Amino acid sequence: MPEGQIEWTCPVYPRFEGKWVLVTGAGTGFGATIAERVAAEGGNVVVHYNSSLEGASRTAAAVRSYGRKAVVMRANLRNWEEIRTLAEESFAETSGIDALINNVGDIATEQMSWRDIDESIVSRVLDVDIKGTMLMIHEFGVRMLAREKGCIVNIGSTVVVKGSPRAPQYAAGKYGMIGLTKSYAAAFAPVVRVNAFAPGFMKTPGTLARDDWNNGRREKLIAMTPMGRIPAPEELAAPALFLATEEAAHMTGAYMLCDGGYSMIGA
């Protein structure tokens, strides 16, 4: 294994051999892990970023370390014109996007309570989590339909099961994502599949740096999780990508949870 590559805990299969996958927000966090997992499974990656060019460049280097192709592209997903350009250029510079992973989301990490809410943070979160997700599905879906193949995976959250007293607008955004997933799944069927994947809490750098995480929340969440642990992102990348494989060929409009039982009714 080349230095710097992730040591995967899940078996690696060539599920994306020769395919192109675009991962949004692939410069950091879960997006970067998903992008590297695509490469480990034989795929080429369009690495999207908005502000972290350095991170996107690291992700692209990781993808290439597997012998795959990587293209780095920037777009602000709050802007329709930039999303349209991202779609046009990503299809033009590859053999066509086979799968879109809508990973970008704004969870308002600086907000510790619903009391801290203001109009600007509501607009910021919903502009990404609903508007941005919708326009990404729309622009990439139109082009996938023209090619008569493709699939889209929206990265959601277990917040839709329990809500978020910390950031209600974040919960609203992820509920909205379910509506978008089902609506476009019906609109694009049977040619393009649209599904959503909901990971639970992960040990990402952003999570580990939060004040509440280091002041009792970690222990509380572990106690509420039947599997008894908080996983690293690399453990959840493989199930997230399952929805973009031929193994999930009869799945569309689905919302798949992967949270160690945290959201289990009665748990």
CA distances from 208 to 56, 69, 77, 213 (A): 21, 31, 25, 6
Q: Which residues contact 3 (CB under 8 A, 6 or more apart)?
A: none
Residue showing tokens 């970690």: 218
Any idea what the Cα angle at residue 203 is, between residues 197 and 205, rounded to 5°? 110
Query: Active-site residue 13, yes or no?
Result: no
Strand residue runs (E) in 103-167 = 151-155
Helix (H/G/I), strand (E/B), else coil: 80:
helix
Asked whether the beta carbons of 53 and 30 are under 8 A apart, the reply is: no
Strand residue runs (E) in the chain = 20-23, 44-49, 70-74, 99-102, 151-155, 193-199, 255-258
Residue showing tokens 């917040």: 159
The catalytically annotated residue of 170, 175, 184, 255 is: 170
Asked whether the beta carbons of 262 and 58 are under 8 A apart, the reply is: no
Any idea what the Cα angle at residue 81 is, between residues 77 and 86, rounded to 5°? 65
Provide the 10 A C-beta neighbour count for residue 100.
Answer: 30
The token duo for 128 is 């990404």
Rg (CA), the chain: 18
Q: Among all residues, which ones are annotated catalytic?
A: 170
